[in-house]
Amino acid sequence: MKIAFIGGGNMGEAILGALIQKNICPPKDITVSEIKAERRTFLENTYGIKTTPSNPEAIKNAEVVLLAIKPQNLAELSAGLKGKLAETQLVISIIAGATLSKLSGGLEHKAVVRVMPNTPAMIGMGMSVWTALPAVSPAQKEQAKSILSAMGKEIYTGKETMLDAATAISGSGPAYFFLFMESLEKAAQEMGFTPEEATVLVSQTAAGSAVYAEKSGLPLAQLRKNVTSPGGTTAEAIKVFEQAGLETTVIKAAKAAFDRSVELGKG
Ligand SMILES: NC(=O)C1=CN([C@@H]2O[C@H](COP(=O)(O)OP(=O)(O)OC[C@H]3O[C@@H](n4cnc5c(N)ncnc54)[C@H](OP(=O)(O)O)[C@@H]3O)[C@@H](O)[C@H]2O)C=CC1
Ligand SMILES: O=C(O)[C@@H]1CCC=N1
| C-alpha 128 to ligand 1 mean position (Å) | 17
| C-alpha 24 to ligand 1 mean position (Å) | 22
Q: Whose CA is nearest to atom 3 of ligand 2?
A: 96
Q: Residue range 23-33: average pLDDT?
A: 96
Ligand nearest to the CA of 68: 1
Tell me which CATH homologous superfamily contains domain 173-266: ProC C-terminal domain-like (1.10.3730.10)
Q: In the structure, what pLDDT confidence band is assigned to residue 265 with cuts at 50, 70 and 90? A: confident
The answer to whether residues 137 and 63 touch, using CB atoms and an 8 Å cutoff, is no
90 beta partners: 64
Q: Whose CA is nearest to atom 16 of ligand 1?
A: 9
Q: Is 204 helix (H, G, I), strand (E, B) or coil?
A: helix
Phi, psi dihedral angles at 266 (to 5 degrees): -85, -25
* ipTM surpasses 0.90: yes
Tell me which CATH homologous superfamily contains domain 3-159: NAD(P)-binding Rossmann-like Domain (3.40.50.720)
Give the H or E element holding residue 31.
strand 30-33
CB of 152 shorter than 6 A to ligand 2: no
Q: What is the pLDDT of residue 112?
A: 98
Q: What is the pLDDT of residue 262?
A: 93
pLDDT tens digits along 84-112: 999 999 999 999 989 999 999 999 999 99
Q: What is the pLDDT of residue 258?
A: 96
The answer to whether residues 206 and 181 touch, using CB atoms and an 8 Å cutoff, is yes
Q: Residue range 209-226: average pLDDT?
A: 97
Ligand nearest to the CA of 37: 1
Q: What is the pLDDT of residue 135?
A: 96
171 is in an annotated binding site: no
Ligand nearest to the CA of 117: 1
Q: Whose CA is nearest to atom 48 of ligand 1?
A: 118
pLDDT tens digits along 135-145: 999 999 999 99
Q: What is the pLDDT of residue 266?
A: 84
Compute the distance between CA of residue 11 and CA of residue 82 in angstroms, rounded to an integer. 23
Q: Residue range 51-80: average pLDDT?
A: 95
Measured in residues, the chain has a length of 267
CB of 173 shorter than 6 A to ligand 2: no
Compute the distance between CA of residue 236 and CA of residue 261 in angstroms, rounded to an integer. 36
State what percent of residues in the chain have pLDDT above 70: 100
Q: In the structure, what pLDDT confidence band is assigned to residue 122 with cuts at 50, 70 and 90? A: confident
Domain ranges of the chain: 3-159, 173-266
